[in-house]
Amino acid sequence: MTKAKLIPGFELGWADGVKRCVSPHFNARPDGEVSLLVIHNISLPAGCFGTPYIDQLFQGCLDIAADPSFNALKGLEVSAHYLIRRDGEVIQYVSCDERAWHAGVSSFRGRPGCNDFAVGIELEGTDNQGYTEPQYQHLLRLTLGLMARYPMLNLDAIVGHSDIAPGRKTDPGDCFDWSRYKRELTLNLSL
């Protein structure tokens, strides 16, 4: 597969060819800068895939009565820029030109407040279960597109949530294949 076939275009921070599910949980980036990519994981309820609850959470309309574990999410205002589902479907919630609320209390290379300058990609999954082939394929495609659109992004500025919030967060977990992901990125960037 050639690099050109992998890279989506962007208009006003929205990726071409992905589903939009707009979240109200965002605001303006203070400096308009995108220089960090943060990989997360999420499943609602924990370990359950293919449910509508992630969309509902990010849109601020999660029915907390749908599962007892959702009580802890009552009133939470959170979003990510993207979700990549187990089957590879990519959903965008917030324009990458805006600040999504995904990183929380965080720091990258001594700089606090990663939401200010990061794009957040959620993978539907858990820390202890492998990710799917379609997820890796679409993550690669999306990452290449983001790197083309935002030149401050580079291989050294792609991290897990656990890297920017150590001790507080563990995602994307030990089952995420960082070696494969970075190797495929490097290969495609050299084409």
Return the SS3 of 109.
coil
The Cα–Cα gap between 106 and 163 comes to: 9
| Alpha carbons 160 and 187: distance in angstroms, whole number | 21
| Distance of alpha carbon 36 from alpha carbon 112, whole angstroms | 12
Catalytic residue among 33, 77, 89, 122: 122
Smallest CA-to-CA distance from 164 within 118, 123, 128, 124 is with 118
**Is 11 in the active site?**
no
> How do strand 107-108 and strand 111-112 relate by DSSP bridges?
antiparallel
Which residues are the active-site residues? 122
